[in-house]
């Protein structure tokens, strides 16, 4: 075959191949067009994405770089904003409760919390971001000797970690390692009071008019030094406390919001009773924790209680309900150390949760109270029980020689009231003067400890007692900003629900597997296109 014929033959074959390829391309494009027309919006979007972005090596590389840059950028932004971290502890140890949120969300004063001895990544530093996320007026700053020696020196900060909560010229130092933890004596559980301590410190430094509590003295009552645990708690709860010797004054100070008469050993004088009555008639609020002695009368103190129709009865309450007194294997017959019931209607105990041991109140050696009708003209009385015994309780009037089964013979079992809140309203024309009294026929539940020949009980280490007495002061002080926020420390691990478990597994396993599958699909697609 001649050379020309061979070349001609080759050209014909090449042209035939080109025509077939062109025809195949047209058919393929036609099929793709038809398929595209039939495809859903999502499928068409996916097709465009594959053609435009991942069909090219360069475009795929650019896409990966952009995604990585986006992730890094989001992390840098989040870090710069000090965003609050997600709390995955079961008891929300590092989350603000609604109690704090309600008090602080509208705070219009600038609060600065200086943090000493902590790193930015520490849990409690992250917890402070919850406050900033709630209210931008609450800020925090980590200080060290190198970046703020003046403050470190001013507050004498040394080896202890510390938070300094400031508002203007007022400040409060918190030592977390000493103040963020307590224990429930009844259960032995460790309780975290970090939020309670921080929030109340913010409230304390930001308030313009703290509640003023006076502890009456002069008749053997407990003053500040006798109830140091209670006094410390009051200082953390936005209160100012001071002793007031009734024998040295002619009237109760005008700044007194609550007059507290705790465990008098003897009766007050008639003159002191008149001073207190004038205080009551001018709208003053009283807290009285007292026992009426069997061998005498508190005649003058009783004349004050008569304004509210209250009588503290003689005797000793002796529980027969095994769930309502302190049980001990080592010491039997502790029926007089009561674990009373509490009202779900009174505001002092309405937030207590029935059945929770950490809410149990311990009241050793109690008497009962009775609310009587008040016949004073233009005066109305409204009473509400706070704590009471079971319906299976005795009132012993003869126990000096010991308590035996014989001493219970013939006694009637019934329910007794131990604590009550009474509101006294005196009307004079269009004017009304309201005064509140909270009375407990018990003198031990608020003390640092209770001790007799058989047992010693640190009652004010019991969270139920703490909450009861602090809520009592809150009610009398007409304060909405009293906070008692206690979180169990014994369970901190992540406790996920079934749905949360699926989400976590999807994030940990599903997404990486999905990325691998997408990579294989892209590789296979590009290999076929070559």
Element (H, E) at 191: strand 190-192
- pLDDT score of 486 more than 60: no
How does residue 100 score in pLDDT terms, banded at 50, 70 and 90? confident
> In angstroms, what CA-CA distances link 251 with 19, 222, 280, 453?
116, 20, 11, 41
Closest CA to 243 of 212, 210, 275, 214: 214
Query: Is 113 within 8 Å of 137 (Cβ atoms)?
Result: no
pLDDT tens digits for range 374-401: 988 899 999 999 999 999 999 988 776 6
How far apart are alpha carbons 196 and 487 in whole angstroms?
Answer: 10
Closest CA to 443 of 291, 218, 286, 337: 291
Query: Is 237 within 8 Å of 200 (Cβ atoms)?
Result: yes
Q: How many CA atoms lie within 13 A of 237 on its CB side?
A: 28
- Kindly give, in sequence order, each residue whose CB lies less than 8 Å from that of residue 162, ignoring residues fewer than 6 positions away: 115, 116, 117, 155, 173, 174, 175, 176
pLDDT tens digits for range 399-448: 766 666 666 777 889 999 999 999 999 998 888 999 999 999 999 999 98
Average pLDDT of the segment spanning 492-503: 52
Closest CA to 305 of 267, 361, 338, 249: 267
pLDDT value of position 491: 38
Q: Residue holding tokens 């129709």?
A: 309
- pLDDT score of 175 more than 50: yes
Q: How many CA atoms lie within 13 A of 279 on its CB side?
A: 29
Residue 453 in tokens: 């020949």
How far apart are alpha carbons 59 and 92 in whole angstroms?
Answer: 45
pLDDT value of position 312: 95
Question: Alpha carbon 198 to chain centroid distance?
Answer: 10
- pLDDT score of 88 more than 50: no
Closest CA to 233 of 52, 451, 485: 485
> In angstroms, what CA-CA distances link 372 with 241, 305, 415, 422?
32, 10, 17, 11
Strand ranges (E), 95-143: 111-116, 138-143
Helix ranges, 237-339 (H)? 270-281, 299-305
Among the residue ranges 77-86, 331-340, 521-530, the one predicted with the least confidence is 77-86
pLDDT tens digits for range 200-211: 889 888 888 888
């Amino acid at each position: 075959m001649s050379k020309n014929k061979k070349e001609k033959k080759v050209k014909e074959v090449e042209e035939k191949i080109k025509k077939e390829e062109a025809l195949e391309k047209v058919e393929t494009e036609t099929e793709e067009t038809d398929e595209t027309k039939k495809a859903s919006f999502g499928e068409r979007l996916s097709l465009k994405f594959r053609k435009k972005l991942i069909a090219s090596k360069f475009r795929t590389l650019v896409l990966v770089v952009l995604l990585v840059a986006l992730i890094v950028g989001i992390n840098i932004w989040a870090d710069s904003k000090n965003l609050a971290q997600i709390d995955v502890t079961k008891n929300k140890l590092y989350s603000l409760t609604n109690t704090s949120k309600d008090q602080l969300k509208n705070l219009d004063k600038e609060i600065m919390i200086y943090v000493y001895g902590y790193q930015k990544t520490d849990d409690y530093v992250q917890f402070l971001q919850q406050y900033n996320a709630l209210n931008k007026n609450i800020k925090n700053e980590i200080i060290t000797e190198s970046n703020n020696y003046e403050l470190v020196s001013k507050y004498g900060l040394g080896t202890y970690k510390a938070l300094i909560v400031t508002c203007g010229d007022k400040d409060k130092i918190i030592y977390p390692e000493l103040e963020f933890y307590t224990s429930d004596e009844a259960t032995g559980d460790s309780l975290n009071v970090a939020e309670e301590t921080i929030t109340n410190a913010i409230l304390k430094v930001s308030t313009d008019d703290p509640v003023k509590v006076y502890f009456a003295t002069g008749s053997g009552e407990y003053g500040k030094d006798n109830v140091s645990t209670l006094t410390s708690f009051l200082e953390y709860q936005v209160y100012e406390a001071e002793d007031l010797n009734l024998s040295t004054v002619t009237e109760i100070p005008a700044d007194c919001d609550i007059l507290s008469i705790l465990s008098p050993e003897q009766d007050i004088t008639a003159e002191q009773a008149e001073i207190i009555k004038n205080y009551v008639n001018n709208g003053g609020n009283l807290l009285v924790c007292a026992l009426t002695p069997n061998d005498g009368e508190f005649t003058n103190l009783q004349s004050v209680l008569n304004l509210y129709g209250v009588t503290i009865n003689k005797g000793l309450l002796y529980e027969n309900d095994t769930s309502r007194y302190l049980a001990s294997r080592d010491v039997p017959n502790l029926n007089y150390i009561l674990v009373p019931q509490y009202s779900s209607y009174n505001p002092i105990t309405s937030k207590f949760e029935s059945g929770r041991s950490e809410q149990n109140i311990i009241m050793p050696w109690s008497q009962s109270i009775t609310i009587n009708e008040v016949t004073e003209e233009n005066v109305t009385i409204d009473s509400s029980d706070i704590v009471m015994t079971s319906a299976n309780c005795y009132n012993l009037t003869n126990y000096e020689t010991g308590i035996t089964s014989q001493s219970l013979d013939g006694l009637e079992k019934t329910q007794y009231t131990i604590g009550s809140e009474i509101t006294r309203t005196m009307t004079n024309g269009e004017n009304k003067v309201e005064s509140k009294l909270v009375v407990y026929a018990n003198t031990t539940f608020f003390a640092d400890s209770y001790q007799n020949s058989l047992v010693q009980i640190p009652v004010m280490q019991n969270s139920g007692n703490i909450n009861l007495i602090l809520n009592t002061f809150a009610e009398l002080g007409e304060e909405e900003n009293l906070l008692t926020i206690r979180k169990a420390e014994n369970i901190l691990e992540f406790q996920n629900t079934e749905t949360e478990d699926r989400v976590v597994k999807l994030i940990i396993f599903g997404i990486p597997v999905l990325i691998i599958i997408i990579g294989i699909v892209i590789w296979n697609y590009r290999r076929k296109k070559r």
